[in-house]
Amino acid sequence: MTQSQVAAHLADKVGITKKQAKTALEELTNLVVRELKKEGSLRLAGLGIFRKRQSKARMGRNPATGEQIKIPARTRLRFTAAKALKDAVLGSKKK
């Protein structure tokens, strides 16, 4: 689903214009970026948690030559889905 399709769906469901829905989506995106830069994590209830995570430097191997190479440390983004989202999409696990 594209951003335009999401905006059109929101506009239809909420009763606002497509332009207002697009603006709301852009503001949500800006909020996520701002909070991840500032705080390092953002929790959206029922959806999940966005987090910044540091990965350590490590040694890897070039698959073409077999030569060892150093992979530098870097910051990655991680999303962990909320239990409610997992259950809604995958169904709850009954034992």
Q: Where are the domains of the chain?
A: 3-90
Q: What is the pLDDT along the chain (95 residues), one digit of tens a residue?
A: 999 999 999 999 999 999 999 999 999 999 999 999 999 999 999 999 999 999 999 999 999 999 999 999 999 999 999 999 999 999 877 65
Q: What does the pLDDT read at residue 95? A: 58
Show the tokens assigned to 95. Answer: 């034992």
pLDDT of residue 94: 67
How much is the pTM?
0.72
* Per-residue confidence (pLDDT) for residue 93, from 0 to 100: 73
Q: Which fold has domain 3-90?
A: HU Protein; Chain A (4.10.520)
pLDDT at site 51: 95
Residues 6+ apart with CB under 8 A from 90: none
What residues have CB less than 8 Å from 35, skipping those under 6 apart? 41, 42, 50
